Amino acid sequence: MKTVGVIGGMGPAATLDFLAKLFTATPAADDTHHLHVITDNNPRRADRNAAMRADGPSPAPSLIATARFLAAAGAEVLVMPCNAAHAWADEVVAATPVPFVSIIAATVAATRAAVPNVRRVGLLAVEATQAARLYHDGFGPAVEVLSPDMAAFMPLIWAVKAGDMGPAVRAAMAAQGAALVARGAEVLLAACTEVPLVFGPGDATVPVISATDALVTATLAAAL
């Protein structure tokens, strides 16, 4: 089994959710069959949304430093459970020879597996992910990517990051998903790692693909 290095902290709860799901999904009969995971759950990174708007510094130096730290610590596979941070994934990949598992590629693959002929997806993702067109490019021109009402969606993400995962936030996130379905989305992507903390398959009338779950599957494929 390969040692997994996690570039985390964006946000901390999302990283812990990824780690818990990775643990649960690992086919282990006892402690020794689980993965060796080295995690830098560092929330003190430049804001990805501000950086994409050119209103703040780039998170790239911090991401690169963490990738090199994890590689030096023995990581043989790198993962980053934050969709927006993948706007700087090329710089992370270039910083170390350690293989990097993309949450974007993993989620696109999971979506195509679940809905093979998908033509329209609803993208529950933050401003930076939308602006960087990570999923637009990942799916290509044959798939239309629909964005939620960002003025209403972003406060929900900040609420989750602040620890509010209560009924009001969950209902509001479900409403965002329903609005995308009403516009023709055939599948919804929980493509901010905070979204699966408050929204899942039982909250929508179409398939829901969790980017976190997709990354877990891809991480296990790379590490086992």
Residue spans per domain, the chain? 4-102+213-223, 104-211
Q: Return phi, psi of residue 88, to 5°.
A: -115, 20
pLDDT of residue 16: 98
From the candidates 35, 51, 78, 82, give the one annotated as an active-site residue: 82
Domains 4-102+213-223 and 104-211 are alike in CATH topology: yes
Quick check: is 177 catalytic? no
Measured distance CA(20)–CA(46) in Å, rounded: 25
In the predicted model, residues of the chain with pLDDT beneath 70 are none
Q: How many CB atoms lie within 10 A of CB 153?
A: 21
Task: Determine whether domain 104-211 maps to CATH 1.10.3720.10.
Answer: no
The residue type found at 216 is V
Name the catalytic one among 126, 187, 191, 192: 192
Contact (CB, 8 A) for 207 and 124: no
How far apart (Å, rounded) are the C-alpha atoms in residues 13 and 50? Answer: 20
Instruction: Specify whether the backbone of 54 is left (phi greater than 0), alpha (psi in -120 to 50) or beta.
Output: left
For the entire predicted model, the pTM comes to 0.97
Query: How far apart, in Å, are the Cα atoms of 27 and each of 34, 53, 209?
Result: 8, 42, 22
Query: Is residue 201 flagged as an active site residue?
Result: no
What is the gyration radius of the CA atoms in the chain, in angstroms? 17
Task: Tell me which fold the domain 4-102+213-223 belongs to.
Answer: Rossmann fold (3.40.50)
Q: What is the pLDDT of residue 190?
A: 98
Q: For residues 157 and 126, is the Cβ–Cβ distance under 8 A?
A: yes
From CA 14, how far away is CA 12, in angstroms rounded? 5
Helix, strand, coil shares of the chain, percent, nearest 5, are 55, 15, 35
